[in-house]
A and B are shown apart, each in its own frame.
Chain A
Amino acid sequence: SQKIEQNSEALNIQEGKTATLTCNYTNYSPAYLQWYRQDPGRGPVFLLLIRENEKEKRKERLKVTFDTTLKQSLFHITASQPADSATYLCARPYSGYSTLTFGKGTMLLVSP
């Protein structure tokens, strides 16, 4: 089966540091991965999509990498702020690329 794993349930860092979240997948490399942010009691919000041939993608303080050899995507938030505290979900294609399956998420807590 096509699994996607976010092994860290929680990550605590200090404000101003870089947060790095990990997403691992099994079986074949998907053509792309998506990253979402979810605040408590709210729906996820799309952040970035990275394709397998892109290796790295940036959006403001966010950076995502895609390593097909390691079967891993890394999500970085530079100069982190308390407002970045949330759960971050990665997702891969599912069911013939018609929809997504989500990882368990990593809860990021940025302390002042």
Chain B
Amino acid sequence: DTEVTQTPKHLVMGMTNKKSLKCEQHMGHRAMYWYKQKAKKPPELMFVYSYEKLSINESVPSRFSPECPNSSLLNLHLHALQPEDSALYLCASSQVAQSSYEQYFGPGTRLTVT
């Protein structure tokens, strides 16, 4: 199984809401990533988890809170977002957090903040 799944596919939330994005992989990968992608832009790295520990935070605002409950799951908790946070949020995994390994991406969650 080489699939990364993400739920929900689409999410519309108000600026005062709290919601969570979920990501799951069963490839035994020990590195998981969150990316943000705006239209016609490349994926921008937000967070990297290595062996369930946060290893990279790309200066992401605290209204985004990642969590890695176990080696297969990755969550992104959202609170008090701004309209400019509307984007495609991609989860990815790789065997380890080393850039010579290919990353497997999920289909993404399309987030709209109203």
Given contacts A44-B43, A94-B45, contact A100 B99 (CB under 8 A): yes
Interface footprint category on A = 20 to 34
Docked complex Cα distance between A22 and B88 (Å): 25
Name the segment of B11-19, B62-70, B71-79, B106-114 touching the other chain: B106-114
Query: Which residues of A lie under 8 Å from residue B4 when comparing CB positions?
Result: 43
A43-B42 in contact (CB<8A): no
Any B CB within 8 A of the CB of A99: yes
Nearest CB of A to B41, in Å: 7
Query: Which residues of A lie under 8 Å from residue B48 when comparing CB positions?
Result: 95, 98-99
B42-A105 in contact (CB<8A): yes
Complex interface bits, B31-75 against A, C-beta within 8 A gives 1, otherwise 0: 001000000111101001010000110000000000000000000
Chain A, Cβ-Cβ closest to B50:
A98
Docked complex Cα distance between A93 and B68 (Å): 23
A99-B56 in contact (CB<8A): yes
A49-B88 in contact (CB<8A): no
Docked complex Cα distance between A105 and B97 (Å): 23
A100-B103 in contact (CB<8A): yes
Q: Which of B55, B104, B105, B108 contacts A98 (CB 8 A)?
A: B55
B56-A31 in contact (CB<8A): no
Any B CB within 8 A of the CB of A59: no
Docked complex Cα distance between A45 and B56 (Å): 22
Nearest CB of B to A27, in Å: 15
Knowing that A32-B99, A89-B42, A100-B45 touch, tell me 11 more A-B residue pairs with CB under 8 angstroms: A42-B107, A42-B108, A43-B106, A44-B90, A45-B105, A46-B103, A93-B100, A95-B56, A98-B55, A99-B48, A104-B41
Subset of 19 A-B contacts with CB under 8 Å = A41-B110, A42-B107, A43-B4, A45-B105, A46-B104, A49-B102, A89-B43, A92-B99, A94-B99, A95-B48, A97-B100, A98-B50, A98-B98, A98-B99, A99-B33, A99-B56, A99-B97, A100-B99, A104-B40
Q: Chain B: residues with CB nearer than 8 A to chain A?
A: 4, 33, 40-43, 45, 48, 50, 55-56, 88, 90, 92, 97-100, 102-108, 110
